[in-house]
Amino acid sequence: MSGQALIAAGGWRRTTWPLATALLVLLAIGAAATAAGVGVPRVWVLLVVAPLLEEAVFRAGLQDFLLRRTRPAWRANLLTALAFGLAHAALRGDA
């Protein structure tokens, strides 16, 4: 669907509203972190970089790899979820 057709159909507002909300939340958290004395680069890493890297590694990397090689699809999703959980538990020291 072209941009003009999307705007005409009213879909433009539906697609930009979550993005605008997320950006406002990030700005508010950044302002609160700065006021609390936490560096903006740390907030940037925790709120933007880390989630994007997780998506790249687990969803675009591991899950896509498993979906191409594993049937049924729920098995690939389960294995990805387990790997995601284990990685977070290992980072926290719970594993």
pLDDT tens for each residue of the chain, 95 residues long:
454 554 555 554 555 666 667 677 777 777 777 777 766 677 777 777 788 788 888 888 888 888 888 889 899 899 999 998 898 888 777 65
Report if pTM > 0.85: no
User: What pLDDT is stored for residue 6 in this prediction?
Assistant: 47
User: What pLDDT is stored for residue 34 in this prediction?
Assistant: 74
Task: Say if CB 67 and CB 76 are below 8 A apart.
Answer: yes
Q: How many CA atoms lie within 13 A of 92 on its CB side?
A: 8
Give the Cα separation of 59 and 80 in Å (integer): 8
Q: What is the DSSP secondary-structure string of 6-44?
A: HHHTTHHHHHHHHHHHHHHHHHHHHHHHHHTT--HHHHH
User: What pLDDT is stored for residue 94 in this prediction?
Assistant: 60
